[in-house]
Amino acid sequence: MLRSRRVPGATRNQSKRAALGSLVGTTIEWYDFFIYGQAAALVFDKLYFPGLDPSTATLVSLATLGIGFVARPVGGVLFGHFGDRVGRKSVLISTLLLMGVATMLVGALPTTATIGIWAPILLVLLRLVQGIAVGGEWGGAVLMAVEHAPSGRRGLYGSLPQMGIPLGLISSAGVFALLSGTMSDEAFLAWGWRIAFLASVVVVAIGLFIRLGIEESPSFARVKQRSEQARVPIFEVLKHAKRTTLLTIGSQALVNITFYVTTVYVLTYARDTAGISRTESLVALLIAATLDLIAIPLWAALSDRVGRRAVFLDGAICAAILAYPMFWLVDTGGFGEMTVAISLMLVCGQAPMYATLASFLSEQFDVRMRYSAISLSYQLAGALWAGPAPLVAAALVAATGSVGILVGIMFCALGLTAVCVRGLKETYRSRLDETQQPVADR
């Protein structure tokens, strides 16, 4: 499936190794990120905010999840600068180390019962560090895959680091399901959840070994050889690609809301509203993420044939249409219905959008500012749309007793997404030249 013509400067073996290396690295990064999200939904409210009533504790716990998204644009700008100035490879090694250390420290963090107010304060600080690391990770991983990709296969190759998200979700949900299913609730709350965080030391070591063996992106290597790097890449983005950046941020509204409502908030909704157990919710999420993993490269390969915009918009329409049926199925209180609900949303709604996102964004910007531009766009979109999504969803449902307003918001996000995607040029047939100008600002 990955056989095709190679771009100048990248052998077929280098292209595959870069894509697979990006996949492994992003899987590790997102495993670390998702175990925090699942712990925030399932245990942090009880351990770090015990003095609050259950509803408020859940809201505050989910708010700490959103704090990481606030830090992500900072990481995107910081690591994007060095990625455009020094290189993609060295930045990706740094982000992996930073995420790994922060995650292990969360696993060792005492609870409020032990150190008082310092426990939630340190939890928030470590979440900020995680957010900064993820902010720099995504852009570099995507560019290593896309800039090494053979001609006519950028969508497919760019989807491999995107597959790191469902793989990370599968790994984290699988670990949490195994732990919660093999020990009592008391043991899981006391120490069992920490195993998922502390185990990241092993996978971080594996990820470092793989990334150290990957060569620099040929597109950036040519720019660096000629000393043509932008002096301050983020200024180049703001000066030459403002319209493109704003459109790409708006285009990501629904894909972010869809994913984080489905994979984070629905866990809490299923527990509190439908009475579905923690283990059943995690297993349902595990099955849905596995199907999502299979769907992503298929949608991406289709985008190499019919275009990025068509596939992306099809997914957006499906996500909005499936919003109410998803909650209705979860409300039935059955494990099977919940599994079907979130599987349909991820495979038919989220996957087409997310599969094409990496190549679509990368193709919009010049190589000299590409790392900074796509990182800024992706991470600002995450801070605007993804971070608040579980918290806003929980607050709206708690205030109204219904998911109606939440479904309405998803349809509004569909409108914004459609307008912004239509405002961007179709790029699947264009060449990814190092001298390319910002598509939408020309």
Complete DSSP assignment for 289-314: HHHHHHHHHHHHHHHHHH-HHHHHHH
Collapsed DSSP state (helix, strand, coil) of residue 364: coil
Supply the pLDDT for residue 35. 85
pLDDT at residue number 179? 86
Q: How sure is the predictor about 42, in pLDDT bands with cuts at 50, 70 and 90?
A: confident
Tokens of 117: 């107010």
In a domain, 3, yes or no: no
Percent of the chain past pLDDT 70, that is, above it, reads 95
Split at pLDDT 50, 70, 90, the class of 10 is: low
**Percentage of residues in the chain with pLDDT exceeding 90?**
49
- CA dist., res. 276 & res. 87, Å (int): 47
CA distance 108 to 102: 10
Residue 68 — pLDDT band, cuts 50, 70, 90? confident
DSSP state of 439: G
Q: Tens digits of per-residue pLDDT, 231-249?
A: 999 999 999 999 999 999 9
What is the spatial distance between Cα 31 and Cα 44, in angstroms, rounded to a whole number? 17
Please indicate, yes or no, if residue 10 is contained in any of the structural domains. Answer: no
- The amino acid sitting at 202 is V
At residue 107, does pLDDT exceed 50?
yes
Backbone region of residue 275 per phi and psi (left: phi > 0; alpha: psi in -120 to 50; beta: other values):
left
pLDDT beyond 60 at 4: no
The pLDDT-based confidence of 439 (bands split at 50, 70, 90) is very low
CA dist., res. 407 & res. 330, Å (int): 14
The residue with tokens 């902010």 is: 135
User: Residue 237 to residues 45, 300, 376: CA-CA distances in angstroms?
Assistant: 40, 27, 9
* Distance (Å, whole) CA 404 – CA 327: 10
Both tokens of residue 164? 């790191």
| Distance (Å, whole) CA 272 – CA 181 | 19
pLDDT for res 358: 96
Task: Give the tokens for residue 243.
Answer: 């319209």
pLDDT of residue 321: 97
Averaged over 77-96, what is the pLDDT?
A: 93
| Of residues 128, 145, 160, 12, the one with CA closest to residue 64 | 128
Chain mean pLDDT for the chain: 88
Q: How far apart are CA 31 and CA 110, in angstroms?
A: 22
The CATH number for 137's domain is 1.20.1250.20
> Which amino acid appears at position 106 of this protein?
V
Kindly state whether residue 223 falls inside one of the protein's structural domains.
no
* Per-residue model confidence (pLDDT) at position 371: 96
300 pLDDT above the threshold of 80? yes
For residue 5, the model assigns a pLDDT of 45
Selection from 54-63, 278-287, 347-356 with the highest mean pLDDT? 347-356
Whole-structure pTM value: 0.85
Residue scoring higher pLDDT (308 or 280): 308
- The owner of tokens 């990814």 is 432
pLDDT in tens, 215-225: 888 888 888 88
- Is residue 224 a part of any domain in this protein? no
Give pLDDT, residue 7: 43
Report the range out of 20-34, 105-119, 165-179 with the highest average pLDDT: 105-119
Whether 5 is covered by a domain: the verdict is no
The separation between CA 306 and the C-alpha centre of its own chain, rounded to angstroms, equals: 25
Query: Stretch 402-418: mean pLDDT, rounded?
Result: 95
The pLDDT of residue 75:
94
d(CA 285, CA 360): 27
Q: For residue 46, give its domain range.
A: 16-217+230-441
- Based on the structure, what is the number of domains in the chain? 1
Q: Assess whether pLDDT exceeds 80 at residue 33.
A: no
Residues 303 and 117: their CA atoms lie apart, in Å, by: 50
In this prediction, residues 424-442 reach a mean pLDDT of 68
Please report the pLDDT score of residue 409 as a whole number. 94
Establish if 340 belongs to a structural domain: yes
CA–CA separation, 207 and 408 (whole Å): 41
Confidence bin at 8 (pLDDT 50/70/90) = low
Q: What's the rounded mean pLDDT across residues 169-193? A: 84
- Please compute the mean of the pLDDT values over residues 126-154 and round it to a whole number: 91
Q: How confident is the model at residue 182 (pLDDT cuts 50, 70, 90)?
A: confident
pLDDT of residue 3: 47
Confidence at residue 311, expressed as pLDDT on a 0 to 100 scale: 98
